[in-house]
A and B are shown apart, each in its own frame.
Chain A
Amino acid sequence: MKLLAALSGGVDSAVAAALAVEAGHEVTAVHLALSEAPEALRSGSRGCCSREDARDAARVADVLGIPFYVWDLAAQFREDVIDDFVAEYAAGRTPNPCLRCNEKVKFAAVLDRALALGFDAVVTGHHARLDNGVLSRSVDLQKDQSYVLAVLSPSQLAATVLPLGGITKDEVRRLARERGLGVADKADSHDICFIADGDTAGFLRTALGEQPGPVVDALSGAVVGHHDGAYGFTVGQRRGLKIDKQDGVPRYVLSIEPVSRTVTVGTQEALDVDTVRTGAPVWSSPRALPLACTVQLRAHGMVHDCTVTAMVTAGATAGATASGDGWELRLTDPARGVAPGQAAVLYDGDEVLGSATIREALLIG
């Protein structure tokens, strides 16, 4: 096949490209320039684009003996990922920018371009298995990235090659060393690539300004403190709450209301939810509803047993198919700290079934 390898400058995409070359594919490499000011982004950040990363990516391509180009997708990345990230926080939700980047940039803008240029598929270094269009968890559960790939549609998956799903991160590093790839021991990335110092709250404060508001206790209804911006909080968060001494029981963020900027807090038990409602899903492996399966409600989160039913969202047009509307997930046992904006990803064992954005989470009992 003619494959387009996205090289981030990290070890995973380097080994993925190497394996594709060794499998006999005709591979061309691109590095995505995602920052409008390349030096501003921290080296080694996930999928991102400091000058050092660009050089590392070019070195990998040269060692593999494949063509290498830089594609400037900075404007698109800003619009679809960074601006979306800020807008979601401003609306009181907790977005996952890596997921958004996969959905809008890597497997949309890049894939479309690749197909138009005559490539058959893109190859990336994500840790997830993809066999015959079936997406499932990596054998390395610590590194599994199936959660952030679950937004891909069957047609996107059909034009994607993920060579690393069957091997562990340690094996990836060993393969890189064996092939003389200089990035073999490059540090793993963890943070959000466009927030160079890892200070998400500071980044949002710069983007949104101070937006002070009240912190309200769910039980008493009383104002128990104030905050500088509701965007500094996520459902389930305890850190950073400056509130009056309560009854000695720790308080957690239960919900965020962006218009009145109210952050509502309560005890840990009050975080329990048993019902999750979502926006329109993307099915990677379509199933009929109702459906008993498991669901993961945040990156690196636990899985919960659940039953999925179709939920006709308010305002949905008449005649819309049930699968085009949201899901209602009934959890067998309550889950704690479910944040609107994150994805609900359905699994059957290790196999990904589909993904949808969480709109609300409640305790119905």
Chain B
Amino acid sequence: MAYLDHAASTPMLPEAIAAVADAMARAGNASSLHAAGRRARRTVEESREAVAAALGARPSEVLFTGGGTESDNLAVKGLYWARRSPSRTRVLASAVEHHAVLDAVEWLVAHEGATVTWLEVDRLGRVHPEVLEAAMGPDVALVTVMWANNEVGTVQPVVALAEVAHRHGVPFHTDAVQAVGQLPVDFAASGVDAMTITGHKFGGPLGVGALLLGREVAVTPLLHGGGQERDVRSGTFDTPALAGLAAAATLATQRQPIVATNLAALRDDLVRRVLAAVPSAVYNGDPVHRLPGNAHFSFPGCEGDSLLLLLDARGVEVSTGSACSSGVARPSHVLVAMGQDEETARSSLRFSLGHSSTPADVDALLEVLPGAVERARRVPVR
């Protein structure tokens, strides 16, 4: 078996599993006033401090959530509601956002009187600061551009983009879900106002994440209740999940430089060998500003779906990068935004490496890929 889908979810670090199990063995609601509650609260607050330290934020800037999707929704809808006025209803978002941002924006347009300007990207998937500058105006409520793209791995010039937004006095959100553990991520140094992270992409548990939110930034809550998180997010703290999130954030950021170096070397080897074995393959995305674990290709004449099925049958697990909830593959909006036609977009596969990847995974892929490509070419295109 070769797991080449770390961008979908990466295995938990043993230390994070131990931290979760430890905390699970102890009862307690962190809001209770007795000893058990205080013990839980200590775990929650130590986790908050650890996440803050790992990502260059202050503890008070860490709002725990139920993962990346919730953080993105809270940031997009919460910033919009907090800042909307009759003359300020426009949202600026990159055309290559994850659906957690994309669909939240579209929902605001459909139901909350928002308008949207999708920031176009170049062929490598990058948003240029000039494009953002040209789209700015007094009617803009917020800007959201992801740190790194989950499909093609392109890294955005987030610092420069945040500067543009701030020059116009507009808050800037970034979805950094794919960046943590692969790139150096420093909340304060980046200058962004809100940043989404999620545990299961860097060795922590599923279903837990955070929105890092500058202390002065106003956000209207999505979830009302006990007001546990700065009154912006309610719900009893999931103490074990937070302990796991903190352990993973600490280790993943500590190990990031060495992991990134190793992944980039392994990835470059994968890319070289894929292009040698399948000369018609097209390597997508930005060759320089790129997640070290990401390799994304189009295989002209094949459908990504067919390749995935054939590789899966041989124990190699990859992604087309664009499955929706029903499992029906649509041409990726990311690739279409980068200027690919629908047919090429449907011919794509993402190989993503992570902390547990080895050269044997790449060997396993190369053993079956050429045969799969040859067979997939014979499948009638829909």
- Tell me which of B17-25, B267-275, B287-295, B321-329 binds A: B321-329
Cβ–Cβ contact A70 & B375, under 8 A: no
Binding-face segment, A112-120, A234-242, A259-267, A288-296: A112-120
Q: Name the segment of B107-115, B198-206, B308-316 touching the other chain.
A: B308-316
Chain A hits for B378, CB < 8 A:
116
Contacts of B305 in A (CB 8 A): 69, 71
Partner of B375, one of A38, A72, A117: A117
Partner pick for A117 among B309, B326, B327, B382, CB 8 A cutoff:
B309
Residue from B308, B313, B379, B382 in contact with A73 in the complex, judged by beta carbons closer than 8 Å: B382
Name the residue of chain A whose CB is nearest to the CB of B312: A67
Instruction: Say how far B369's CB is from chain A's closest CB, in angstroms.
Output: 15
Q: A67-B312, A69-B305, A73-B382 are in contact. Are A116 and B326 (CB under 8 A)?
A: no
Contact residues of A between 78 and 120, Cβ < 8 Å to B: 109, 112-113, 116-118
CB–CB A69/B309 < 8 A: yes
Flag whether B279 is at the interface (Cβ < 8 A): no
**Interface residue count for A (Cβ, 8 Å)?**
21
Determine if A14 is an interface residue (Cβ-Cβ < 8 Å): no
A113 to B305, CA, bound (A): 11
Q: Does A33 contact B (CB under 8 A)?
A: yes
B379 and A72: CB pair below 8 A?
no
Residues in A neighbouring B327, C-beta threshold 8 A: 31, 33, 54, 58, 69-70
User: Which A1-55 residues have C-beta < 8 A from chain B?
Assistant: 28, 31, 33, 38, 51, 54
Indicate if A76 sits at the interface (CB-CB under 8 A).
Answer: yes
Q: Using Cβ atoms and an 8 Å threshold, which residues of chain B touch A116?
A: 375, 378-380
Q: Given A72-B328, A76-B382, check contact A117 B306 (CB 8 Å).
A: yes
Contact B382 A75 (CB under 8 A): yes
| Complex: A58 Cα to B323 Cα, angstroms | 15
Q: Which residue of A lies closest to B378 (CB)?
A: A116
Q: How many residues belonging to B are interface residues under a CB distance threshold of 8 Å?
A: 17
In the assembly, what is the distance between CA of A69 and CA of B380, in Å? 17
Q: Which of A73, A112, A117 has the largest count of B CB atoms less than 10 A from its CB? A: A117
Question: Which residue of B312, B313, B328 is within 8 Å of A70 (Cβ)?
Answer: B328
Contact, CB under 8 Å: B382 / A67: no
Do A112 and B328 touch across chains, with their CB atoms under 8 A apart? Answer: no
Nearest chain A residue, comparing its CB with the CB of B380: A112
Q: Name the interface residues of B183-199: CB closer than 8 Å to any CB of A.
A: none
Bound CA–CA A113/B309 (angstroms): 12
Whether the pair A67, B328 counts as a contact (CB closer than 8 A) is no
Task: Write out, one digit per residue, whether chain B residues 307-351 have a CB within 8 A of any chain A CB (1) or not (0).
Answer: 011101100000000000011110000000000000000000000
Chain B residues within 8 Å of A117, by CB:
306, 309-310, 375-376, 379
Bound CA span A54–B324, Å: 13
The answer to whether A70 touches B306 (Cβ under 8 A) is: no
What residue of chain A has the Cβ atom nearest to residue B330's Cβ? A72
Closest beta carbon of chain B to A85's beta carbon, Å: 21
Cβ–Cβ < 8 Å partners of A28 in chain B: 309, 313
Most chain A beta-carbon contacts within 10 A, residue among B305, B308, B328, B329: B328
Q: Which of chain A's residues 131-176 have a Cβ closer than 8 Å to chain B?
A: none
Q: Count chain B CB atoms within 10 A of each CB in A67, A70, A73, A75 and give the residue with the most.
A: A70
Q: Which of A38, A67, A109 interacts with B313 by CB under 8 Å?
A: A67
Task: Give the complex CA separation of A73 and B382 in angstroms.
Answer: 8
Q: How far is the CB of B360 from the nearest CB of chain A, in Å?
A: 22
Given contacts A33-B328, A118-B375, contact A67 B380 (CB under 8 A): no
Task: Determine the residue in chain B with the shortest Cβ distance to A113.
Answer: B379
Residues of A within 8 A of B (CB): 28, 31, 33, 38, 51, 54, 58, 67, 69-73, 75-76, 109, 112-113, 116-118
On B, residues with C-beta under 8 Å from A are 305-306, 308-310, 312-313, 326-329, 375-376, 378-380, 382
Provide a sorted-by-A list of 5 A–B residue pairs whose CB atoms are within 8 angstroms.
Answer: A28-B309, A67-B313, A70-B326, A71-B305, A76-B382
Beyond A33-B328, A116-B380, 7 additional pairs, beta carbon < 8 A: A54-B326, A54-B327, A69-B308, A72-B382, A112-B380, A117-B306, A117-B379
